[in-house]
Structure 1
Amino acid sequence: MSEATAETVRELVSKGSAGGHLFFTTDDAVAEHARLKAAGVDVDPEPVVQPYGTDFGLRDPFGNHVRIAQPAGAPA
């Protein structure tokens, strides 16, 4: 993309106006949620059990969505 387009994308992403979710994985979503909450991070009220595992969300300082998931075991 052109430099002008790249700058527009950077501005939108930094404002939380563009882009998708960023996913991280953890071995223990409940413990990670508690650690982040204790550190003052504004996280979802509680982790949620989903078909794919347990996860919770937060927003970074720029408003971007971040999900942290503990994947479920592999299907049988």
Structure 2
Amino acid sequence: MVRGRLRLLLSGPASSGSRATPKETAVPGGNRIHLTYDDLDAEIARLRSAGLSFRTEVVSGPGGRQILLADPAGNLIELFQPAHRATGQP
């Protein structure tokens, strides 16, 4: 669903969003802030150089690639690159 700049994404059974979040990264409710990037690898490198650490490694699924980090309050933030923008994917 889309309303202005807000998108609500529902994860289907074949999506990477349907995979269980590792226990060490899970937060109550399982919600995440989802940010989309054209070049996920460049954003990961930029954030690591700024001293941020990630909760997971990059995960690839049919919709694209993602990685998780947490904000200072512990809320999960998903950085996502759609498959049509992901390197080496159609």
- In structure 2, list runs of 5 or more residues that go unmatched: 1-26, 85-89
Q: Name the structure 2 match of 1:46.
A: 57
- In structure 1, list runs of 5 or more residues that go unmatched: 1-15
Q: Normalization by structure 2: what TM-score?
A: 0.56
CA distance in 2, matches of 1:22, 1:70: 14
Q: Normalization by structure 1: what TM-score?
A: 0.66
Q: How far did 1:47 drift? A: 2.1
- Structure with more of its chain in helix, by fraction: 1
Paired residues of 2:40 and 2:79 also in contact (CA < 8 A): yes
Instruction: Kindly name which structure, 1 or 2, has the bigger radius of gyration based on alpha carbons.
Output: 1
Q: Which has the higher contact order (CA 8 A, sep 6+)?
A: 1
CA RMSD of aligned residues (A): 2.4
Question: Percent same amino acid at aligned positions?
Answer: 39
Paired residues in the alignment total 60
